[in-house]
Amino acid sequence: MKVGIIGSGGIGGTIGTLWAKAGHEVLFSSRNPEKLSLLVTEAGNNAQAGTIAEAAAFADVIFLAVHYCTTDDAIASAGSLDSKVIIDATNPYIRADDGQIQRVPNVSSGLELAQKVPHAKVVKAYNTLPTATFANEHHRADPYALFYCGDDVSAKAIAAQLNYR
């Protein structure tokens, strides 16, 4: 599977690396792709780096892992996402005026994303566990559960089989 990572930070870098090491072709993207050289080296031969638009053009599946408040920027930078499967790991948290992280009330970031890119196939997943669990416990004998949801049956099947065990 060809996977484009949009938001190659904590969760995007971790999951993309697991997928690359499991044999998937992974293009990590950044607004500054040159800073991803160490990540690409660590992820191995199936990994490369590029711009956000390059990741979108390359991939069958997009892994969206940016902060909620930068989702619109990321989508705009991606260009067309028509027919792409987007696995959306974002959570609707923002930094409030007092500096505290707060959940945005009454918002489903997955539903919002699906409305913003109506010709893509959005699957919400990977947002319910912390990065450290994916990084450190991905091969434990008693596997953790990952929840996913979306409206497109075929996209959910792809998300379910895109594993790294």
Ligand X SMILES: NC(=O)c1ccc[n+]([C@@H]2O[C@H](COP(=O)([O-])OP(=O)(O)OC[C@H]3O[C@@H](n4cnc5c(N)ncnc54)[C@H](OP(=O)(O)O)[C@@H]3O)[C@@H](O)[C@H]2O)c1
Q: For residue 60, what are the CA distances in angstroms to 33, 97, 144? A: 20, 38, 26
Q: Is 164 a binder of ligand X (CB under 6 A)?
A: no
Distance CA 113, CA 111 (A): 5
Contact track, ligand X, 38-77, x by CB under 6 A: ---------------------------xxxx-x--xx--x
CB of 134 to ligand X, least distance (A): 8
**CA-to-CA distance for 112 and 117, rounded, in angstroms?**
9
Determine, following the binding rule CB under 6 A, whether residue 7 of this chain makes contact with ligand X: yes
Q: Which residue's entry shows tokens 């930094």?
A: 95
Q: Which is nearer to ligand X, 136 or 154 (CB)?
A: 136
Say if residues 16 and 5 touch (Cβ distance below 8 Å): yes
CB of 105 to ligand X, least distance (A): 16
Give min distance, CB of 62 to ligand X, in A. Answer: 12
Q: Which string of b and e fits 80-115 if b means at least 16 CB within 10 Å?
A: ebeebbbbbbbbbeeeeeeeeeeeeeeeebbebbbe
CB of 85 to ligand X, least distance (A): 17
Helix (H) or strand (E) holding 148: strand 148-150
Nearer to ligand X, 147 or 154 (CB): 147
Q: Which of residues 95-154 bind ligand X (CB under 6 A)?
A: 127, 130-131
Which residue's beta carbon is nearest to the bound ligand X? 9
Footprint of ligand X on this chain (CB under 6 A)?
7-12, 30-32, 65-68, 70, 73-74, 77, 89-91, 93, 127, 130-131
